[in-house]
Structure 1
């Protein structure tokens, strides 16, 4: 059975936001146009190479738009598309769950 044909929509959602970085990138872009350099600061621990690839993937899946301001020094920013905004709204309950359970998850995932 094709993963896209399952009754659970998680397979579909995870094709776009799967992995460690994409949900965090989306979280930090939801406030409006966000420059590449600002994303790099906000998404701690991500390498520039990985950030570039993840942004390309999200632009290619029409979740984000990329705007190059054609100036020197280069200025590029990213913004949610209406499609991307619906995805971010779907991630909000997961963010809320993480905030509510942060302490317990910390205990459960800290090596003894």
Structure 2
């Protein structure tokens, strides 16, 4: 399984080049992310839990890493994360179960300090 701290740092570094090379696309994506994650009928933590579940369902390690970081900053509990992963597995079956294990590895790595 990936080292999620290194993975997210590496992706962040790679995105710096994209911000320089395709700035309008990156600004647009950033604006979309900002708008989508604002508190509204759903709070930020709930939205990040949804994003983690989608990251698991589509098998995106980068998504798992970044959304796990956000969830930990927002104070998500292990139980909240695990219940979210349960829903992802329910909706995505066996492949989502494999990535739910990845998500818990990310949780363990990011809470080890």
Instruction: Normalising by structure 1, report the TM-score.
Output: 0.31
Instruction: Normalising by structure 2, report the TM-score.
Output: 0.31
More strand by share: 1
Higher relative contact order (CA 8 A, sep 6+): 2
Structure of larger gyration radius: 1
More helix by share: 2
